[in-house]
Amino acid sequence: MIDSLEVGSKKVRVNMLQYVDDTLFFCHANSKSVFNVKAMLNCFELSSGLEVNFLKSIIGGVGVNVFSIRGFAAILNCDTMKVPFKYLGLPIGGCYKRVVFWDGVLDKIKSILGRWKGRNLSMFRRICLIKFVLSFIPLFYMSMFRLPTGVMKKIESIQMNFLWGWGSEGRKIVWVSWKKVCETKGEGGLGVINVKDFNLALLNKWIWRLGFNEGDLLEEVLESKYCGYRNLKEDKGSSYDSLWWKDLKRNWQIEKWGNNFGDYLNWEIGNKKSIGF
């Protein structure tokens, strides 16, 4: 009923995505698709007895003039959206290479730390807070974007200051290097997550999904737009490559995966459900 968005050379059709209680419709910028979206939502109201709150809905466009967007908003009786905007707390449309992009994350870490005073907590409790709270606040961001070096240092600086006496006056004594703190307990460290390695691992998970989730919509879209994970091993980038894709290429080179990511995988028999003899 709607003119679906077509992505990449293979023109993979994307018309709707759902996550928890959010639904996103994608269509070409024409009145027909917008009217049909409204018709579908009205049919949903009639069949389910639930009412769609159009006042809490928003519409935005990429490469569409402002007057067209306002006209579509009038049809749907909803508000318009400006780029960049936030979705699930993540800025969409901003440049994550800039330090200012990460101000919200840094402010959140500082505000949470402000509730506890390091001078009133033992070393053990401070380590627990760093491990299970501070290290996972930027998790959602780090799973999508490569942290700029400046932001990485700021996060580590906040963690360091908290560990060695947050809230205390005067100069803090740093007993061991932060690299040693991030080592496992078996190696003599405190087991605090290394932000840089954690960020690298989370980004590499996208490469894993591209190589081994055949038929997945994400795999189909990126295959159509960038030729899939096989394109990651190419040193030369394309003018069509996004910053995110370039970061994945950079990770491929850092990990030295060569020509085939699958060469670095091993099979385990496990419960025998996926491997038979």
Reply yes or no on whether the pLDDT at 170 is more than 90.
no
CA-based nearest residue to 201, from 147, 128, 154, 151: 147
Domain containing residue 32: 5-82
pLDDT digits (tens, 9 = 90+) for 106-120: 888 888 776 666 567
The answer to whether residue 22 sits within a structural domain is yes
The answer to whether residue 221 sits within a structural domain is yes
Q: How many domains does the chain have?
A: 3
The answer to whether residue 277 sits within a structural domain is no
Same domain membership, residue 206 and residue 186: no
Phi, psi of 33 (to 5 degrees): -65, -40
Same domain membership, residue 209 and residue 152: no
Same domain membership, residue 72 and residue 118: no
Reply yes or no on whether the pLDDT at 59 is more than 90.
yes
The answer to whether residue 272 sits within a structural domain is no
The answer to whether residue 172 sits within a structural domain is yes
Same domain membership, residue 117 and residue 71: no
185: Cβ contacts below 8 Å, ≥ 6 apart: 191
Same domain membership, residue 243 and residue 171: no
Same domain membership, residue 36 and residue 113: no
Above pLDDT 70, what percent of the chain? 89
Residue where a domain terminates, one of 38, 53, 82: 82
Residue where a domain terminates, one of 148, 175, 193: 193
**Contact between residue 58 and residue 79 where contact means Cβ atoms under 8 Å apart:** yes
Same domain membership, residue 52 and residue 103: no
Same domain membership, residue 188 and residue 105: yes
Reply yes or no on whether the pLDDT at 168 is more than 60.
no
For the whole model, what pTM was predicted? 0.78
The answer to whether residue 33 sits within a structural domain is yes
Same domain membership, residue 186 and residue 136: yes
Host H or E run for residue 236: none
pLDDT digits (tens, 9 = 90+) for 69-94: 999 999 999 999 888 888 777 778 78
Same domain membership, residue 59 and residue 33: yes
The answer to whether residue 142 sits within a structural domain is yes
Pairing label, strands 12-14, 5-7 = antiparallel
The answer to whether residue 78 sits within a structural domain is yes
Residue where a domain terminates, one of 177, 193, 209: 193
Same domain membership, residue 189 and residue 103: yes
Same domain membership, residue 206 and residue 185: no
